[in-house]
Amino acid sequence: MRAAIIQEFKQPLVLQQVEIPTPDADEVLIKVDTCGVCHSDLSIAEGDWPQLKRMIKKPLIPGHEVVGEVVKKGANASLEIGDRVGVAWLHWSCGTCELCQEGLENLCPNQSITGASVDGGYAEFVKAKASHALKVPAALNSAEAAPLFCAGVTVYRAVKNAAIKPGQRVAVFGVGGLGHLAVQIAKAFGASVTAVDIAEEKLQLAKQLGADHTINAASEDVVKTFRKQGGVHAALVTSSSSTAYNQAFYSVRGAGSLMVVGLPPEDIAFPAIMMREIKIRSVATGTREDLREVLNLAAEGKIRCLVETSSLEKVNDVFEQMRQGQIRGRIVLKL
């Protein structure tokens, strides 16, 4: 089968023919239809995450936003041949550790990660644990569904964990692949949403997707604007900009939440927060239940991922577009 492979960090992916994997008893073999290109894939290829380096196998087929059809199944696999399923970052969780038992399988210390510790979806076929591959609703096409398995579930969990109530003020910093979904999901939760970006075309997109207000951070004083409103109940930072994090911190009202979604290349630090009782919370993708919920939202037409398709052969070009910040929504590889 054709596959794009990480041979060494900071080197272009290599396209070559490799053996089709054979599923174990609890696994299924999936013929890949689409695989989203996530910024995490680029970070893995560049070796930018020291905490993940010890887990990354090499050579490695990346990709963790996979949608395809089950074509072979192991003896104990619950899925059926012909099922259209998706494969996410969380390839497998043990189900028995303390965190799994508390419903936090996305934090399982024993987990394996699609496209990092096991091969992912930048290939014609991928194998997955039947327990963790989820059926894709018929109402969704594969290209739009694929990014929901990482981008969608991550921002969904951020909004969910912020405990946003109808009518509350939410700020989304960065209207890119994550942020354009965050705007829609926050609206689905009933929030009054303000999108913040430095690109006017992205702010126009946010308005089209339902944002109530927009702020151009290149020409407006973001913090002053939000403070006039009393601050926001939650700020979701989907950008990797440290400036965005600084603005978000001072834009959150007392007892509000700052949700860390985008990962900046350097450490971020915040001033003392005890006088404002701000909650700062990170997000680690999501659970299978989160995935089911975000897939249902999309199937109901409440959110829609903006996608462009490309080919596996152009994956290194897509990575370069990502480095240059030239991608409007999400790019999905069509296999």
Q: So what's the pLDDT on residue 52? A: 74
Residue 128 is classified by DSSP as E
Give kind and range of the element (H or E) at residue 237. strand 232-237
Report d(CA 108, CA 286) in Å as an integer: 11
The structural domains of the chain, with segments of one domain joined by +, span: 2-150+286-334, 153-282
Q: Do 2-150+286-334 and 153-282 come out as alike in CATH topology?
A: no
Residue with tokens 């072979």: 72
Amino acid at 269: A
Residues 182/261, Cβ–Cβ less than 8 Å: yes
Nearest to 153 by CA among 79, 69, 90, 91: 90
Q: What is the pLDDT of residues 233-243, one digit of tens each?
A: 999 999 988 99
Percent helix, strand, coil in the chain, to 5, is: 30, 25, 45
Query: DSSP labels for 147-195?
Result: GGGTHHHHHHHHHHHTT--TT-EEEEE--STTHHHHHHHHHHTT-EEEE
pTM for this model (two decimals): 0.95
Residue 21 is classified by DSSP as P
User: Does the pLDDT at position 324 exceed 90?
Assistant: no
Q: What is the pLDDT of residues 258-290, one digit of tens each?
A: 999 988 767 788 877 777 899 999 999 999 999
pLDDT band, residue 218 (cuts 50/70/90):
very high
> What residues contact residue 267 under an 8 Å CB cut-off, 6+ apart?
none
Q: What is the pLDDT of residues 169-210, one digit of tens each?
A: 999 999 999 999 999 999 999 999 999 999 999 999 999 999
Q: So what's the pLDDT on residue 271? A: 76
Domain 2-150+286-334: top CATH class = alpha beta
CATH T-level fold of 153-282: Rossmann fold (3.40.50)
Residue 25: C-alpha distances to residues 61, 83, 91 (Å): 22, 17, 15
pLDDT band, residue 335 (cuts 50/70/90):
very high
- Give the torsion through C-alpha atoms of 236, 237, 243, 249, to 10 deg: 30
